[in-house]
Amino acid sequence: MASVLPASNTSMRSDRNTYVGKSFVHVKNPYLDSMDEDVLYHLDLGTKTHNLPEMFGDVKFVCVGGSPNRMKAFALFMHKELRLTDSEEDIKDICAGTDRYCMYKIGPVLSISHGMGIPSISIMLHELIKLLYHARCSDVTIIRIGTSGGIGIAPGSVVITDEAVDSFFKPRFEQVILDNIVTRSTELDKELAEEIFNCSKEISNFPTLIGHTMCTYDFYEGQGRLDGALCSFSREKGLDYLKRAYNAGIRNIEMESTVFAAMCRLCGLKDTTVSKDEFLVQEDQPLEGQPPRTQTKTPCI
């Protein structure tokens, strides 16, 4: 899969402005064009060691998810769906030289793992977006697929995110940069969410809904769970928080959506997240007339 470039002293700045436009992936870093080489360290790729336009220039869809095994399974699934002529044995991990992430290319589709939480996915997104930029990709749609904790919904439901919110139920991503707090919008592509939702109607026994997704920095206390090593609140206070989240339109909780939304929209990527409810926060507690909930473990692509 690797397409290696010969050694070169040419700057990355050549013909860069030719590819600036709404449909092309772009970056928001003026320093990149002055660099002689851009090493995508955690993806085991680089602008001098690999011919990124040749390897990735035809990419139109990117699917990212936490688990390496899940994203490999998704790659094999896409190989069958696209009815590609090459063998499944030819599907290799492009990032095999590093143990941080995995990446598979199947025709115009990239399948990439991102680990758990905002720090892990943000590192991957920085390098993925630069990869798509250097490869001169256009009209790219990116979707985060994975699992989440449901709030007041039936076990096994699929939530398509129309708005990513933080722990205060606000559609924003706050990041400390140097000694400043920088706030960025977490707007997602609502048309894409509706398009995916309409597709789900064609599949039987596939409960799907559109709702807000809350992104937290922690799996346990940050999501109102009672079973972590630390718990600084009462069951009643945790349940009250989840009820308020439900009333604010939140239907699931995970740990990546706000930074995913913020970065992708800034760089010209059409984006949304699709999560299957794999567990329920504070099970057995009904929300707003919902039936008691039981914890479930459902396999998810």
pLDDT over threshold 90, residue 14:
no
- pTM here? 0.86
- 70 is an annotated ligand-binding site residue: no
- Considering the domain architecture, whether residues 152 and 270 belong to the same structural domain is answered as yes
Rounded distance between C-alpha atoms, residue 80 and residue 226, angstroms: 42
Residue 284 pLDDT: 46
Model confidence over 250-278: pLDDT tens digits? 999 999 999 999 999 999 899 899 997 76
- Residue 12, pLDDT > 90, answer no
Residue 109: which CATH number? 3.40.50.1580
Pair 135, 7 in one domain: yes
Same domain, 101 and 163: no
> Same domain, yes or no, for 135 and 193?
no
List pLDDT tens digits, range 84-139.
888 888 899 999 999 899 999 999 999 999 999 999 999 999 999 999 999 999 99
Please tell me whether residues 13 and 94 are part of one structural domain: yes
CA pair distance 288, 211, nearest whole angstrom: 16
Q: Is 183 annotated as a binding residue?
A: no
Q: Note the pLDDT of residue 194.
A: 94
| Amino acid 203: pLDDT | 87
In sequence order, the 6+-apart residues with CB closer than 8 A to the CB of 247 are 288
Determine if residue 115 is labeled as part of a ligand binding site.
no
Q: Which pLDDT score is estimated for 280?
A: 59
Q: What is the pLDDT of residues 62-91, one digit of tens each?
A: 999 999 999 999 999 999 999 988 888 889
Q: Which residues of 228-260 are buried (b: 16+ CB within 10 A; e: fewer)?
A: eeeeeeeeeebbebbbebbeeebbbbbbbbbbb
Query: Is residue 145 part of an annotated ligand binding site?
Result: yes
- Are residues 230 and 257 both part of a single domain? yes
Q: Are residues 88 and 199 in the same domain?
A: no
Rounded Cα distance, 109 and 63, in Å: 8
Domain-located, residue 295:
no
Residues 144-195: pLDDT tens digits? 999 999 999 988 899 999 999 999 999 999 999 999 999 999 999 999 999 9
User: Which pLDDT score, from 0 to 100, does residue 293 have?
Assistant: 39
Say whether both 91 and 59 belong to one domain. Answer: yes
Residue 279 pLDDT class (50, 70, 90 cuts): low
Count: domains in the chain:
2
Question: Does the annotation place 223 within a ligand binding site?
Answer: yes
- Which residues form the domain of 47? 1-139
